[in-house]
């Protein structure tokens, strides 16, 4: 795959929980090639603009499998809606509620996207050995989005009460 192909694959599969920019992908490809973990595919240079396609070699596959078996690092969470809500007294309940409503709408759209993806996977990848793992990730996304929607609804009720008492 080329760097462009990798970016497209990420956006179409794991983009709801992992994202990489071209500025991350291309330097990583150069580093992986220098470390002897990927190799350029002969004849992959078609398509203009110096397109280079790579494949994982045996050494790269060993490193990948080793990394996959390592314990995951704790994720660093940065959640702008929560940060703004934390400082809600500085903007008032109406403005805070607008942030929460927008966040709820995003989560509702994500939930629909995850459900559609799960249905599509069931149809198109029924025989794939990857399906149980992909479904587990989608299930986690659906459960998280549903939980956030529930939190948004409860938070909006509380903000409505704050606004009523302020009147």
At 49, the pLDDT band (50, 70, 90 cuts) reads low
Q: Give the per-residue pLDDT at 20.
A: 85
Highest CATH level, class, for 3-69: mainly alpha
Of the candidate ranges 23-37, 46-60, 76-90, 141-155, the one whose mean pLDDT is the lowest = 46-60
**Which pairs with CB-CB distance under 8 Å and at least 24 residues apart come from 143-151?**
145/107, 145/108, 145/110, 145/111, 145/114, 146/111, 148/103, 148/104, 148/107, 149/104, 149/107, 149/108, 149/111
* Banded model confidence at residue 167, pLDDT cuts 50, 70, 90: low
Judge contact between 41 and 57, C-beta under 8 A: no
Residue 45 above 60 pLDDT? Answer: no
**What confidence category does residue 43 fall into, taking pLDDT thresholds of 50, 70 and 90?**
low
Task: Mark 75-114 as b/e (b = at least 16 C-beta within 10 Å).
Answer: eeeeeebeebbeebeeeebeebbebbeebbeebeebbeeb
pTM for this model (two decimals): 0.77
Please state the rounded mean pLDDT for residues 96-117.
Answer: 96
Structural domain boundaries in the chain = 3-69, 80-166
> Which has more pLDDT, 53 or 164?
53
166 falls in which pLDDT band (50, 70, 90)?
confident
Q: Which residue has the higher pLDDT, 61 or 47?
A: 61
pLDDT classification of 59: cutoffs 50, 70, 90: very high
Structure tokens at 148: 């956030």
pLDDT tens per residue across span 85-96: 999 999 999 999
Question: What is the residue-averaged pLDDT of the chain?
Answer: 90
């Amino acid at each position: 795959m080329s760097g462009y192909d990798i970016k497209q694959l990420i956006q179409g599969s794991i983009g709801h929980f992992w994202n990489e920019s071209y500025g991350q992908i291309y330097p990583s490809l150069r580093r992986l090639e220098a470390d002897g973990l990927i190799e350029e595919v002969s004849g992959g240079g078609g398509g203009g603009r110096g397109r280079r396609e790579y494949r994982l070699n045996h050494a790269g596959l060993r490193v990948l499998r080793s990394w996959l078996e390592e314990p995951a690092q704790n994720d660093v969470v940065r959640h702008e809606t929560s940060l703004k809500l934390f400082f809600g007294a500085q903007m008032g309940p109406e403005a805070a509620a607008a942030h929460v409503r927008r966040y709820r709408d995003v989560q509702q759209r994500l939930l629909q996207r995850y459900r559609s993806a799960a249905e599509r996977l069931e149809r198109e990848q029924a025989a794939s050995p990857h399906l149980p793992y992909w479904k587990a990730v989608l299930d986690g996304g659906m459960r998280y989005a549903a939980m956030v929607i529930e939190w948004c609804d409860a938070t909006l009720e509380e903000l409505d009460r704050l606004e009523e008492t302020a009147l």
